[in-house]
Amino acid sequence: MNGNLKIAIQKKGRLTEKSLELLKTCGFEIENYKERLFVSARNFKIDLLFLRDDDIPEYVQDGVADVGIVGGNVVEEKLVDVEVTRELGFGKCTLMFGIPEDVELNHPNELNGKVIATSYPNILNNYFRRHDISARIIGISGSVEIAPSLGVADYVCDIVSTGTTLKMNKLKKSLTVLESQALLIKSGKKALSEEKQKILVEFLRRIDSALTAKKSKYLMMNIPKNSLDVISQTLPSLKSPTILSLADPEMLAVHAVIPKDKFWEIIDDLKKYGASGILLLPIENMIV
Ligand code: PRT
Ligand code: ZN
């Protein structure tokens, strides 16, 4: 035991690349991780454990890993005692019912008496209990979508992202059971040592900085001097924009941090007020 904070991430799958990308954005140097189960960061007191995603909630609960990055769907299904420390904003997907194209299903009540194939029997059981539904659940670990065409189930309840897999199996999206994304979790029952708690605080500070930065962009543009007031009001900036003078005395350069999703809403107004040379740059880290 080296006293480092142990972070479990998915070894090989949909969350692996984004998890590593997030950690690298936090400034952790992680090298030669391919085909290894365990690797230490070169410049910070963290170790990465590469695991199957299904094992991560339990390993975190039991303290084998101190924190873990895993889908909310997996956390819910495993019925473990873990706490969600951060929502990480990637790996977004929906656990929902898939039904044959020619069927209508608009209310949970209509599920009574049906047979549903799923890899998420615990989540589905809870859903049925919440809605007071009596239906049969068939637990299948892979290729759930083919169950209706094989005649073993009426509907499926599975993870959907684009909906292509459902479509390929002549199914369509129906009611939603759970919205999911990658989560940072820690144990609900194992307390961290004082030393690890300190590392966790710094780890979270960096994660928060990376997450805030991801939602923001750095906007740079030139504007006519007489548009400054109206453009300042248009900018949903976090702080007041930076104003710089230019060689042309009638023009100003304006720099501001803006929420990423606001850019396309304000671009027409900016142009209307004479903004030119508009640049939108990514921000890697942001301390607020
Ligand atoms: O080997 P290991 O057990 O670690 O990995 P895994 O195969 O169990 O999981 P993996 O890598 O497929 O997914 C990891 C996590 O990514 C999941 O637990 C979800 O939280 C998240 N995620 C995001 C998804 C999807 N999007 C997704 N589209 N997980 C699975 N899918 C599958 C889904 O099961 C279905 O087969 O993709 C298909 C549907 O996709 P669309 O785009 O056709 O709708
Ligand atoms: Zn898995």
Q: Which ligand is nearest to the CA of 18?
A: 1
Could you read off the pLDDT of 245-285 as tens digits, one per residue? 999 999 999 999 998 888 888 899 999 999 999 999 999 98
- Closest ligand 1 atom to residue 16 Cα is 11
Q: Cα(243)–Cα(232) distance, rounded to whole angstroms?
A: 10
234: which residues sit within 8 A by CB, 6+ positions away?
A: 266, 269, 270, 273
Run means of pLDDT, 10 residues per run, the chain, 288 residues? 93 96 94 82 96 98 98 97 98 98 97 98 98 98 95 98 97 98 97 97 97 93 94 73 94 93 89 95 88
Q: Which ligand is nearest to the CA of 77?
A: 1
- Closest ligand 1 atom to residue 165 Cα is 43
Residues lining ligand 1, Cβ inside 6 A: 10, 13-15, 52-54, 71, 73-74, 91, 93, 158-165, 180
Q: Which residue, judged by its Cα, is nearest atom 28 of ligand 1?
A: 161
Ligand 1 center–CA 143 separation, angstroms: 11
Prediction pTM value: 0.92
- Per DSSP, 214 falls in state H
- The token duo for 6 is 């142990």
241: which residues sit within 8 A by CB, 6+ positions away?
A: 232, 235, 254, 255, 256
Strand partners, 84: 185
Q: What is the 3-state secondary structure (H, E, C) of 232-273?
A: HHHCCCCCCCEEEECCCCCEEEEEEEEEHHHHHHHHHHHHHC
